[in-house]
Structure 1
Amino acid sequence: MGLWDQLQEKLEFDKINFYKNKKFQQITWLIVVLSILAGIVTIDLLPSRLQVGQVSEKDIKAPRTVTYVDQEEKVKAEARAVEKVKKQYQKQDNVEQKVLAKSNKFFSSVISLQQEQGTTNEKVKKLAQTSELKLSSEEYLYLLKKSPQELNDLKIDVNQLLTQQLETGVKSDELETAKNNLKQKSQELGEAKIYKSIVSSLTKQLIMPNQIYDQQLTQQKKSEARENIDLGKVTKTIHKGEVIIRHGKVVTSDDIEKLEALGLRSAKNNYLNIIGYIIVVLILSLLVVIYMQQYQPQLIENNGVISLLGLLPIIILLLANIAKYLPLDHPGYVVPVAACSIIIAILLDTNLAVIFTVILSFLVGLITNGGIADIAVIIVSGITGIYSVSELSQRTDLVRAGFIVGGVSSLTIFGFLLIENSLDLMLLLKMVPLGLLNGIIVAIVTNGFLPYVENVFGITSPVKLLELSNPNHPLLKKLLVEAPGTYHHSVIVGNLAEAAADKIGADSLLVRVGAYYHDIGKIKRAYFFTENQIGSENPHDKLSPNLSTLIITSHVKDGVELAQEYKLPSDVIDIIKQHHGTSLVSFFYQEAMHDEKYKQVDKDEFRYDGPKPQNKEAALIMLSDMVEAAVRANPTAQSNPGRLEKLVRDLIKQKLDSGQLNESDLTLKDLDKIAKSFVNILKGIFHNRIEYPDNLAKQFDEGGQSNGNSN
């Protein structure tokens, strides 16, 4: 391969990697989202419902004062100005010379022919053949019989008429008028009839236009006339609050023009307005981006989160664009911004949800031409929705949140109506229920949309985790039946991990659910794991250390497959993958080391495939899994609190020293809190119990009651 081929191949490789770069993908998505949002805000989604001849279904008032040019009156004024513009001509200075020269040449030829030999008839024929000016044979004969002086007088009359007409001006599009004028003047000469006929015929043939019509200059003058009309005479003003179209009125072209001037009918086609809207959209959207970069950087790393945060405002603004075509005075009241607020609060972060609510409220206000009341009601509904899901425990709580949003929104609308001194009962009945309607829409949208968001964008909600923590979940029931020891081990691991998560600020609900499912892979070969073995027989005694290691480590892969089969969230699947990291299966490794059959033992063959825990939650499952198993297998530690704490701290230190916690973001301070939490929980599990008398069972069988205290 040549140098050029290698360079080209490298460039292609870099190009492919460039497109796969997460930062590039996020920036591209940001540009796409901003472009779509700007388009939604600046371009009407649907054509206007009102057309000329239709009946208005409501009163339409001017939301602002606008001065505009009445296009119909402007067209009339322009037409009047254009009518006053005369045709423009270009004067030709040398036309008179050409005409007179041609006339003189004709008379010179007649005089010259008179002097030639031949009969008069021959001369007439020759004159008719050679002359450019055509006369009758009688007229040619008349001229040939005239003396030079008489011919000169005739020439003077012809030239004088031509000169007079040319001085008056002969326009190119009025040549026939000039010829008729010459004919009339020739009849006024006090000569014989044939004399007048010859003068008329010659002048009509000789006359040429000396003013040529200039179409381009004429159009220019007309354009200048249009541009210079007095716009003040065709300018009208619409005042804020003025009724443009009354309910029940037939819409006229003048009404449509007023609506367009106010931007209530057509797209916002004013370029300055469009640029202004785009700037506002960019600023408001970038505020969210900057907030996330500074205060929620972990969310930016998740492409699913970025996709969701881009899609939600697009959906809300599309709904707002549709809502403004509803027959409502305040369409912004029914836009379900609170649904977006609730979804972000549940799936991502409460503070981010508040920021999103405020930004979206202003954008919805822009689209629906809403005032301060509209924006305030939308903000209140969104923040109320966020507060109402702060202690979410089941999906029915979303319905409750919707009704809370509806109630608070209605109360807020009522408050603004009181501020405006609007105590009209009909108006109250018309406006206040819009808040309740918004709450119902929010409940429907949130309940219907949330499951799809979780699946499509790979984001797990607390509601989903709560459902998974239910012991009646099919996979947990399968674990209980087929691997009961593992099930009880997982429950204890969940208790340990959840308590520790509360201490270090990790997601305790995710930790508990992850603990319940972290060992589900053991279902496939439950009897190969100690906690599920009954009796003294151990199947590993008949297997080689390598095969035993393969069976033990495969429970991670089997668990991932089961989790995917039962459609568990990606967060839980990640915990299953990472809860052993790349740890060494030390028992079988040591067994192989001491077995003479194995001359060389590769340590990596006795490790889990990993990866190492990538977050605090996965690391907590790893530590609690290890500690629970170790303490359960160590009766001495169970009965001695001091040894228990030492064992726990040694185990945690072992994982730390082996590098298994390097990618989990756990600090030494966190590990200390985790150790203390583990010890407290394990002391409660393995505390000393009072020894009951031997005949206690007999007493209960006989229906008696024990007086002993249970621990």
Structure 2
Amino acid sequence: MKFMKKVRVKLRQWRKHYLDFSPNTYKFIWALLFFILISLSLNLDLIPNQIDLQAGEVSSRDLTAPKTITFIDESSTARLKQQAANTAPRVYEEDSTVDQEIQNKLNSLFASVIKQRQLYLIDKLELSGSEQNSQSAEELMAENRSSFTPEFFRTELTKLSASDRMAIANSVRNEIKFELGRQTILNLIPRPEQDLLDFKNEISLLLENELTNRILPSELDGVKTKLNNSILELDLSNQQKETAAQITDSLIAANMFLNIEETEKRRKEAIADIEPVEKTVRQGEIIVRKGDVVTEQEINILERLGLQKTGIDYYNILGRLIIEFILIVLLGFYFYKYQSRIWHDNSKLLLIELLIFIVILLAKIFTLFQNSLVDYMVPTAIASILLTVLIGSDTALITTLFLSLLLAPIYDLNFSIVLTSILAGLVGIFSVSKVKERGDIIRAGLNVSLALFFLIGGLYLLQDNRELSYLAWTISGGIINGILVAVLANGLLPYLEDLFNMTSSVKLLELSNPSQPVLKRLLVEAPGTYHHSIIVGNLAETAAEDIGANSLLARAAAYYHDIGKLKRPYFFSDNQFGGENPHDKTSPNLSALIIKSHVKDGVEMAREVGLPQEIIAIIQQHHGTNLISYFYQQALQSNRHDDIEKKDFSYDGPEPQSREAAIIMLADITEAAVRSKKFNKNNHDRIEGFVRGLIKDKLIENQLDKSELTLSDLDTIAKSFVKVLTGIYHQRIEYPEHLLKEVKGGN
């Protein structure tokens, strides 16, 4: 502890010489440093990951899963969605115009063949040059229709050369609106007109029979094959069958078309119906075996487990920084708005920041093990317990909530970790709300272990995948968490008290132990003052507890409030025991100076032995600015001049600044006055009236104005004092004389 005091003194001196800033500047500097440290803890790996595999490489060792994880198998999910999209029903609608278009094309083909060969033959007629030049072939044929008989054309067609037929075929191809092979048209040109018409009708009948059915684009090849088979069954020559097959293949078309919009809608519905494929990797499961070629899927699993090196995810880092910044701002605003005493005390803010950083750093270290055991070992309750003991439960509560939310990014937003962290902190806060001894902190840690045992069991029952080995690991981690909290909280408490100059309940309990060196000196060198202080402690502790003040602080401060009398114990009536009174040989002014100097001497001695500032303040304030009336009256009687001033016979103060200081002032005066008063102390009403009179005097003298005590508090204090004093000065029964002799050993 002496080492920590030296450290604190050195830091104070160094800050005074080199960093003499305003409190708000310090607040900003510590907040900035806190933000930087937390940011580094959240985003930097303490130990670089050594695994750096690529798909297609051969693994040099077995890689096992350090924990159980469940994730969405994106590749399998994508494959199922693609299958659903491919198998989704396509929506087709009938095109009623297809049948007529096919018939029109068929008719146009044969009409064109007949027309073009007639025109070609007329062009070859040996008519008069003038007439032929002035009239078109159609006009000539119309005027000489009687000359162009079927027999004429049949005869003339047989006379056509190969070049003539090619010319006619080219004209037909240019006139029709669909693709058809030249040879197919050449096969039609020499046939008589009636044969062509009969041939057309047969083809038309075949097409009509097929078009009565629904023909999808995917079915078109099958329909063509069916038409070819039907043509083979006709009583036609091979050339005619081949020609008919060519024509039907060119003309036949699907009469059902795809409704793209409705089909896409069905595809999306089918994809939406696909549930994501979850994959679970068990703790201890071998992901990649030594000597195996690593696949993309295995690389994905290694990345999810945090075993595979990946590039820097700047979006992830930015997200963590945003979350951290918002939480820190909200925490600071809470203290600024609702706990101004914390906001204006930089040492308390620094303590809060330090404890948060310690827990975050421990959590980051635990993540390196990547094991379900250590996942639940994050000792959040350390901060909760220490802040409750050193500052208060309100501060501990909001800090626990902030700290638990800050852990979420470290554990990939794991709800279970956050929930267990909050619960462990709350149990720790409730367990140390009233610390009576150091063992209470140990019991708080055990309470945390018990609470986590049941909470982790409940979370396990909520999971779909339940493995007893996982349950055993996590519950063990929760139990160790509580033990770790108990050990670390107990170990850190005295160091934090000294480093930040704070006083905990445990410290007050230790100071209240009669074996403390100062109290032992008081007992030996000033026994009257010691017993007076013990009674004042009983009075103050009872009254403080009754009004809701800090009873431990009141008792400890009462034990030390008169340690200044150790410098000159024989000048105080407590320690004279009927002997010679040294004040009889001194002037009233000097006596008053000696009496009131015990306050200053007590403050100096308290600082020398390292008593907390709260107790030092009470030592300084426990007499306020009260008048030392006895010596003041003596001075007035013995002095023949009017130069006596009250301030020379009054304590330097200040008046009590806290409820505990005011209680000790009243208890000090009450105990001394009741002990010295000559009246029947067995009379409850007499004691109560006397006590209330003393309290009323101090109220009238304005000694209690700054203590925040209410009139109701003063009434409660009076009742508490009377209850204790009645117990001390209770009436004792008188033993019979023969029984008294037996007790003394007489006959």
Q: TM-score, normalised to structure 1's length? A: 0.66
* Aligned residues with identical type, % of pairs: 45
Cα distance in 2 for partners of 1:639, 1:667 equals: 29
Displacement of 1:590 in angstroms is 2.4
The 8 Å contact of residues 58 and 327 in structure 1, kept in 2 or not, is answered as no
Cα distance in 2 for partners of 1:556, 1:29 equals: 37
Displacement of 1:624 in angstroms is 0.7
Amino acid at match of 1:574: A
Deviations 1:596-651 (A, max 9, x none): 27652333232323332221111111111011111111122735544433432332
- Which residue does 2:326 correspond to in 1? 283
Q: 1:257 and 1:247, CA in 2 relative to 1: closer, same or farther beyond 3 A?
A: closer
- Which residue does 1:33 correspond to in 2? 34
Q: 1:46 and 1:659, CA in 2 relative to 1: closer, same or farther beyond 3 A?
A: farther
Higher mean alpha-carbon deviation, 258-267 vs 380-389, is at 258-267
Cα distance in 2 for partners of 1:498, 1:382 equals: 29
Displacement of 1:401 in angstroms is 2.7
- Which residue does 2:431 correspond to in 1? 388
1:164-175 matches, within 5 Å, as none
Q: What is the alpha-carbon root mean square deviation over aligned residues?
A: 3.5
- Which residue does 2:612 correspond to in 1? 569
Cα distance in 2 for partners of 1:522, 1:644 equals: 28
Q: 1:280 and 1:593, CA in 2 relative to 1: closer, same or farther beyond 3 A?
A: same
- Which residue does 1:168 correspond to in 2? none
Provide structure 1 residue ranges, at least 5 long, that are not aligned to the other structure: 1-15, 69-237, 705-711
Q: 1:58 and 1:386, CA in 2 relative to 1: closer, same or farther beyond 3 A?
A: farther
Cα distance in 1 for partners of 2:537, 2:708 equals: 20
The match for 1:364 among 389, 397, 407 is 407
Count of matched residue pairs: 519
- Which structure's relative contact order is higher, taking Cα pairs within 8 Å and 6+ residues apart? 2
The 8 Å contact of residues 51 and 307 in structure 2, kept in 1 or not, is answered as no
- Which residue does 1:179 correspond to in 2? none
The match for 1:502 among 545, 559, 563 is 545
The match for 2:64 among 58, 63, 66 is 58
The 8 Å contact of residues 59 and 247 in structure 1, kept in 2 or not, is answered as no
- Which residue does 1:628 correspond to in 2? 671
Cα distance in 1 for partners of 2:50, 2:592 equals: 73
The 8 Å contact of residues 512 and 556 in structure 2, kept in 1 or not, is answered as yes
Cα distance in 2 for partners of 1:398, 1:410 equals: 19
Secondary structure of 1:432's counterpart equals helix
Deviations 1:410-457 (A, max 9, x none): 333233223224443433343332122222221221121111111111
Q: 1:48 and 1:614, CA in 2 relative to 1: closer, same or farther beyond 3 A?
A: farther
1:240-319 matches, within 5 Å, as 241=279, 246=287, 269-319=312-362
1:86-165 matches, within 5 Å, as none
Displacement of 1:384 in angstroms is 2.5
Cα distance in 2 for partners of 1:240, 1:278 equals: 30
- Which residue does 2:629 correspond to in 1? 586
Cα distance in 1 for partners of 2:612, 2:676 equals: 32
Deviations 1:203-246 (A, max 9, x none): xxxxxxxxxxxxxxxxxxxxxxxxxxxxxxxxxxx987576982
Q: 1:264 and 1:693, CA in 2 relative to 1: closer, same or farther beyond 3 A?
A: same
Secondary structure of 1:246's counterpart equals strand
1:429-578 matches, within 5 Å, as 429-578=472-621
Q: 1:393 and 1:558, CA in 2 relative to 1: closer, same or farther beyond 3 A?
A: same
1:689-708 matches, within 5 Å, as 689-691=732-734, 697-702=740-745
Q: Are 1:681 and 2:724 an aligned pair?
A: yes
- Which residue does 2:103 correspond to in 1? none
Amino acid at match of 1:514: A
- Which residue does 1:95 correspond to in 2? none
Displacement of 1:536 in angstroms is 4.3
The 8 Å contact of residues 627 and 651 in structure 2, kept in 1 or not, is answered as yes
Cα distance in 2 for partners of 1:657, 1:614 equals: 17
Higher mean alpha-carbon deviation, 398-407 vs 608-617, is at 398-407
Provide structure 2 residue ranges, at least 5 long, that are not aligned to the other structure: 1-16, 54-58, 76-275
Deviations 1:378-402 (A, max 9, x none): 2222222233334533223333332
Amino acid at match of 1:645: E
Amino acid at match of 2:287: R
The 8 Å contact of residues 614 and 664 in structure 1, kept in 2 or not, is answered as yes
Q: 1:267 and 1:542, CA in 2 relative to 1: closer, same or farther beyond 3 A?
A: farther
Secondary structure of 2:408's counterpart equals helix
The 8 Å contact of residues 332 and 370 in structure 1, kept in 2 or not, is answered as no
Q: Are 1:649 and 2:702 an aligned pair?
A: no
The 8 Å contact of residues 63 and 286 in structure 2, kept in 1 or not, is answered as no
The 8 Å contact of residues 479 and 486 in structure 1, kept in 2 or not, is answered as yes
Secondary structure of 1:48's counterpart equals coil
Cα distance in 1 for partners of 2:311, 2:352 equals: 27
Q: TM-score, normalised to structure 2's length? A: 0.63
Cα distance in 1 for partners of 2:655, 2:346 equals: 21
Higher mean alpha-carbon deviation, 431-440 vs 399-408, is at 399-408
The 8 Å contact of residues 73 and 279 in structure 2, kept in 1 or not, is answered as no
Q: 1:275 and 1:533, CA in 2 relative to 1: closer, same or farther beyond 3 A?
A: same
Displacement of 1:58 in angstroms is 3.0
Displacement of 1:511 in angstroms is 0.7
- Which residue does 1:48 correspond to in 2? 49
Q: 1:660 and 1:242, CA in 2 relative to 1: closer, same or farther beyond 3 A?
A: same
Amino acid at match of 2:26: Q
